[in-house]
């Protein structure tokens, strides 16, 4: 719905009055499309980026090659498929088609079950931690639990086993798995160098000249080690944090978003004139 005037905290009240077990889809839609559209998209980029550092995932992605030859289109295809499921739900024809495409993509890059759980956990934990640090408000408990319930459902429909139940379980699993498995490999380093350009595109044009330092500041020390990325200078870390916190304050004082994200459809650089959902996920040649 577009153009509806709302108070700044109307959606939060609606979220807090909802049951994250039964209303997880609605809550997660509100979180992404109305409350934190830029933040959630940035955090999703960082979550997927983080999963590329897992040794087995990195090795499979390099073997199949598309992440290296078509990083933009692969990222756009993945994002569209994930957003189509979230926007329409699991029972809508477009949601069912998008889920089928997601399963096909998953079969093309076979990861172990635990690596697949990690990707789900990253999509739950990384965005919620980002919002806690840089959102215009902290995520509500219902938003954390709805994210966990939503991605658990995605995983179950993909045949993934032993998925944590609840946000606290996801967070504990995520941290323990990273501590045991996140490490440097040549394949992960190669993927990061190629896909870094996608993160550069999220940085405002006046700051593109210092993009590498800012991107390194978006990575925490374990991820920098896994990707062999040098520690950023202090001015980059402090400056980025200050800018993002200032942005959060300004958004807190601003009026609420009146038009949901993707109200006019999903537009990406790979498909500026639209896309055929059924054809996503295929190599261009």
Within a domain: 46: yes
pLDDT above 50 (res 52): yes
Within a domain: 263: no
- Residue whose C-alpha is closest to residue 123's, from 62, 73, 173, 87: 173
Please report the pLDDT score of residue 199 as a whole number. 81
pTM over cut 0.75: yes
55: burial class by Cβ within 10 Å (0-12, 13-18, 19+)? middle
DSSP state of 116: H
Residue with tokens 């993707």: 262
Please report the pLDDT score of residue 204 as a whole number. 79
Within a domain: 269: no
Residues of the chain by 3-state class (helix, strand, coil), percent to 5: 70, 0, 30
Q: What percent of the chain has pLDDT over 70?
A: 97
pLDDT above 70 (res 283): no
98 contact partners, CB below 8 Å, separation of at least 6: 80, 81, 82, 84, 85, 88, 277
Within a domain: 220: no
Within a domain: 279: no
State the total domains in the chain.
1
Q: What is the pLDDT of residues 136-188, one digit of tens each?
A: 999 999 999 999 999 999 999 999 999 999 999 999 999 999 999 999 999 99
Within a domain: 238: no
Question: CA-CA distance, 265 to 267, in Å (whole number)?
Answer: 6
Within a domain: 253: no
Please report the pLDDT score of residue 5 as a whole number. 54
* Contact indicator for 149, 180 with CB cutoff of 8 Å: no
Coil, strand, or helix at residue 1? coil
Q: What is the pLDDT of residues 107-132, one digit of tens each?
A: 877 778 999 999 999 999 999 999 99
Please report the pLDDT score of residue 55 as a whole number. 93
- Residue whose C-alpha is closest to residue 44's, from 16, 19, 79, 11: 79
Q: What is the mean pLDDT of the chain?
A: 92
DSSP 118-186: HHHHHHHHHHHHHHHHHSSSPPPHHHHHHHHHHHHHHHHHTT--S---SHHHHHHHHHHHHHHH----H
Q: Which range of residues forms the domain containing residue 182?
A: 10-204
Minimum mean pLDDT among 31-35, 40-44, 197-201, 272-276: which range?
197-201
Within a domain: 167: yes
């Amino acid at each position: 719905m577009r153009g509806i005037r709302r108070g700044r905290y109307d959606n939060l009240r609606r979220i807090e009055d909802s049951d994250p077990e039964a209303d997880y889809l609605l809550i997660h839609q509100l979180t992404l499309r109305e409350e934190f559209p830029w933040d959630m998209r940035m955090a999703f980029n960082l979550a997927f980026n983080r999963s590329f550092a897992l040794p087995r995932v990195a090795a499979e992605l390099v073997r199949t090659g598309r992440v290296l030859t078509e990083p933009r289109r692969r990222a756009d295809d993945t994002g569209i498929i994930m957003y189509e499921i979230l926007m329409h739900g699991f029972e809508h024809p477009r949601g069912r088609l998008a889920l089928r495409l997601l399963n096909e993509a998953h079969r093309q890059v076979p990861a172990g079950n635990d690596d697949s759980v990690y990707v789900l956990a990253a999509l739950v934990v990384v965005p919620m931690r980002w919002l806690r640090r840089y959102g215009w408000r902290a995520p509500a408990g219902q938003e954390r639990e709805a994210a966990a319930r939503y991605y658990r459902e995605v995983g179950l429909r993909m045949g993934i086993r032993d998925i944590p139940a609840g946000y606290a379980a996801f967070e504990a699993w995520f941290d323990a798995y990273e501590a045991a498995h996140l490490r440097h490999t040549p394949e992960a380093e190669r993927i990061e160098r190629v896909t870094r350009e996608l993160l550069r595109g999220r940085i405002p044009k006046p700051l593109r000249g210092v993009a590498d330092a800012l991107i390194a500041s978006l990575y925490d020390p374990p991820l920098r080690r896994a990707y062999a990325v040098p520690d950023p200078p202090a001015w980059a870390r402090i400056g980025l944090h200050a800018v993002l916190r200032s942005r959060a304050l300004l958004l807190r004082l601003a009026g609420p978003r009146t038009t949901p994200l993707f109200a006019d459809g999903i537009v990406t650089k790979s498909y500026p004139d639209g896309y055929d959902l059924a054809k996503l996920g295929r190599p261009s040649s």
